[in-house]
Amino acid sequence: MPSIEVHAHTALTSALREQILALCNDAYEQDFTANFDLLGQAIHVVACEAGRLVSHAAWVAREVRVGVQRVRLASAYIEAVATPTKLQRQGYGTYVLRALLPLLRDFDIAVLSPSEPEFYARSGWELWQGPLSYIANGRRIATPGEDVMIYRLPRTPSSLDPREPLETDWRPGEVW
């Protein structure tokens, strides 16, 4: 199995930064530089095998609020889950996701916006069914075309109902 390394975004070497960026460019089939630059406070988890980067995921701390009472949850928002195109469907993405979950013990919940919901569902992620929105300049903006998935962590409230409204705060780039 690959080895796992954990790096703060601010501590990435230029070589590792370039490797992660190349991996994300390949996996997302686009220039990922602008998205990568928005991960300034991220923690990166990389899987390496035989000296090469085989998968990546990162998380940033974000607050989400649930229900009409807007219960605040500290979320680990998962970003940039990526495996090189030629290595996909070999278990590397699942491996890196499973490796990062134990690192999230200080969070109430893990959240992500899936490009492939079925991939995440196989690992226990749940599709949020309630309405989604974000807050910008004091206004709530609905995001009906978005998909969000959650992963219940040990601190996730047992009463959490994924049919409730879910909101977060606006941020540059992709809100969800």
Confidence at 164, pLDDT banded by 50, 70, 90: very high
Angle (nearest 5°) at CA 12 between 10 and 7: 85
Percentages (nearest 5) of helix, strand, coil residues in the chain: 25, 35, 40
Q: How far is CA 121 from the centre of its chain?
A: 14
Q: Would you list the DSSP string of 102-142?
A: GGGTTSSEEEE--SSHHHHHTTT-EE--S-EEEEETTEEEE
Confidence at 148, pLDDT banded by 50, 70, 90: very high
Percent of the chain at pLDDT > 70 equals 100
Give all domains of the chain, ordered by start, each with its CATH number: 3-169 (3.40.630.30)
